[in-house]
Chain A
């Protein structure tokens, strides 16, 4: 459903994403791993059609990110790194705005909100303005916003960052539940999360893909925990 072809993006002299290619199919939950500044967020921003690539392209659900960005955005649910939202709006107002932008109206909107609000457990803060929310609640609002149109493809940049252990567990369950008929990309620093939800893992550092495998294979191959595998692979690259 996602096919990335030689995607490359630079910021001045820094090469953030360097000739990255991969494919993700329906039912895949891809864990995007890498040290800080590896290019994970940049790659995700390009897939969500926020950043244009310098060269290369990608297709999401058959739509090219360069030729038809609006169609791509319609089929993608995207949660950005800091879960940006409009601070002066209430949670309800904000979700209604997203419905407006995504053309969910009338009955359909009520149904969607009835489903998504308890699903992301934001019912208790529904009438609060977003700038009064804690980090965890903000992220849940961001998640609600990304799931609101029941997208085929989910791109989540550190979805569990700032959540308490219970919420982390809930989000992981949610992702597992949705995994069957969607295609999900998650970036994270929490490696146990990768083991719990992902059936594929890509390790990226300095813009290049170092490993594209499954969490189980990685562990077997290196005969150690994912933490150690991650350190081995990314540290070896640094000293090289």
Chain B
């Protein structure tokens, strides 16, 4: 437990010790705001945040791997992994500690988008429940992308390679559920397979949470995704930490 706490604390502080955190937060907040107000927030003449949330997957598919890439790649490249794993810290404590620190960091980013709900509340009378489920869904989605990012970060010593692989993986998981992809695949795949592809996608589950209904299968999807990729990350680290 102590190992977990030490890693978590160090990692979260680490984001703010370098300009990384500030660069990230500024770009993230700017992009999130820009995409919301550019793409017809006012034209809709409706006080809700659906446009804001709909753009987040695209943003997180880039941002979460960028936050996750340093988790292990840097550690292995600089050799500090040798220090970390000769302290009384287990691999799983370190993996979970780092993942949660990065997730907390993304949560801080999400939290800082508070002017958007404030604007919506000022302009009209939005459904607060819908906004809360939207944030919950976004947080889960960020966690999913981040788990993928942390896995690829453990896979390669090179941060550039790890971030590219992670972004590609995130995009595959995202695009799998878009109507264009599904229509295209409908020509070649049997209906059963098509449903599998659809239910493997981030988009499907995220959209369903955005509708304001938190269903077990959607939550389970993200939880399994996070746990699965995190376990894969520990396995990879156990295998390769010293190479």
Q: Are A45 and B82 within 8 A (Cβ)? A: yes
Q: Which chain A residue shows the least CB distance to B89?
A: A101
Chain B residues near A102 (CB, 8 Å)? 87-88
Q: Are A89 and B87 within 8 A (Cβ)? A: no
Chain B residues near A101 (CB, 8 Å)? 2-3, 6-7, 87-89
Q: Which chain A residue shows the least CB distance to B18?
A: A88
In the bound assembly, the distance between CA atoms of A145 and B80 in angstroms comes to 13
Number of interface residues of A (CB under 8 A): 26
Q: Which chain A residue shows the least CB distance to B5?
A: A100
Distance (Å) between the CB of A101 and the closest chain B CB? 4
In the bound assembly, the distance between CA atoms of A82 and B79 in angstroms comes to 8
Please choose the segment from B8-16, B43-51, B219-227 that sits at the chain A interface, where 4 or more of its residues have CB less than 8 A away: B8-16
Q: Are A73 and B86 within 8 A (Cβ)? A: yes
Q: Is B90 an interface residue (CB 8 A)?
A: yes
Q: Is A78 an interface residue (CB 8 A)?
A: yes
Q: Which chain A residue shows the least CB distance to B10?
A: A97
Q: Is B34 an interface residue (CB 8 A)?
A: no
Q: Are B83 and A85 within 8 A (Cβ)? A: yes
Chain B residues near A78 (CB, 8 Å)? 86
In the bound assembly, the distance between CA atoms of A86 and B11 in angstroms comes to 10
Please choose the segment from A47-55, A109-117, A168-176 that sits at the chain B interface, where 4 or more of its residues have CB less than 8 A away: A47-55
Q: Which chain A residue shows the least CB distance to B17?
A: A88
Distance (Å) between the CB of A66 and the closest chain B CB? 13
In the bound assembly, the distance between CA atoms of A145 and B14 in angstroms comes to 19
In the bound assembly, the distance between CA atoms of A73 and B3 in angstroms comes to 12
Q: Which chain A residue shows the least CB distance to B94?
A: A101
Indicate which residue in B9, B79, B88, B90 contacts A80 across the interface (CB closer than 8 Å): B79
Distance (Å) between the CB of B27 and the closest chain A CB? 20
Q: Are A86 and B80 within 8 A (Cβ)? A: yes
Distance (Å) between the CB of A236 and the closest chain B CB? 32
Chain A 61-89 near chain B by CB (<8 Å), digits 1 or 0: 00000000010011010101010111111
Chain A residues near B3 (CB, 8 Å)? 101
In the bound assembly, the distance between CA atoms of A102 and B88 in angstroms comes to 7
Q: Are B83 and A80 within 8 A (Cβ)? A: yes
Chain B residues near A213 (CB, 8 Å)? none
Chain B 1-45 near chain A by CB (<8 Å), digits 1 or 0: 011011101100110011000000000000000000000000000
Q: A82-B79, A100-B6 are in contact. Are A88 and B14 (CB under 8 A)?
A: yes
Main secondary structure of the interface of B (DSSP, over half): helix
Q: Is A103 an interface residue (CB 8 A)?
A: yes
Q: Is A56 an interface residue (CB 8 A)?
A: no
Q: Are A86 and B14 within 8 A (Cβ)? A: yes
Chain A residues near B90 (CB, 8 Å)? 70
Q: Which chain A residue shows the least CB distance to B2?
A: A103
Q: Are A97 and B86 within 8 A (Cβ)? A: no
Q: Is B242 an interface residue (CB 8 A)?
A: yes
Q: Which chain B residue shows the least CB distance to A77?
A: B86
Q: Are B17 and A89 within 8 A (Cβ)? A: yes
Q: Is A25 an interface residue (CB 8 A)?
A: no
Q: Are B78 and A73 within 8 A (Cβ)? A: no
In the bound assembly, the distance between CA atoms of A82 and B77 in angstroms comes to 12
Q: Is A93 an interface residue (CB 8 A)?
A: yes
In the bound assembly, the distance between CA atoms of A169 and B85 in angstroms comes to 30
In the bound assembly, the distance between CA atoms of A82 and B13 in angstroms comes to 24
Q: Which chain B residue shows the least CB distance to A80?
A: B82
Q: Is B241 an interface residue (CB 8 A)?
A: yes
Q: Is A98 an interface residue (CB 8 A)?
A: yes
Q: Are A97 and B80 within 8 A (Cβ)? A: no
In the bound assembly, the distance between CA atoms of A191 and B9 in angstroms comes to 42
Chain B residues near A74 (CB, 8 Å)? 88
Between-chain CB contacts (< 8 Å), 19 pairs: A49-B86, A50-B85, A50-B241, A70-B88, A70-B90, A78-B86, A80-B79, A80-B83, A84-B78, A84-B80, A84-B82, A86-B78, A87-B78, A88-B17, A93-B13, A100-B2, A101-B7, A101-B89, A145-B83
- Contact residues of A with B, CB < 8 Å? 45, 48-51, 70, 73-74, 76, 78, 80, 82, 84-89, 93, 97-98, 100-103, 145
- Contact residues of B with A, CB < 8 Å? 2-3, 5-7, 9-10, 13-14, 17-18, 78-83, 85-90, 241-242
For the complex with contacts A101-B7, A145-B83, 11 further pairs of A-B residues with Cβ separation under 8 Å are A50-B241, A78-B86, A80-B79, A82-B79, A84-B83, A86-B14, A86-B80, A88-B18, A100-B10, A101-B3, A102-B87
Closest 3 CB pairs between A and B?
A: A100-B6, A84-B79, A101-B6
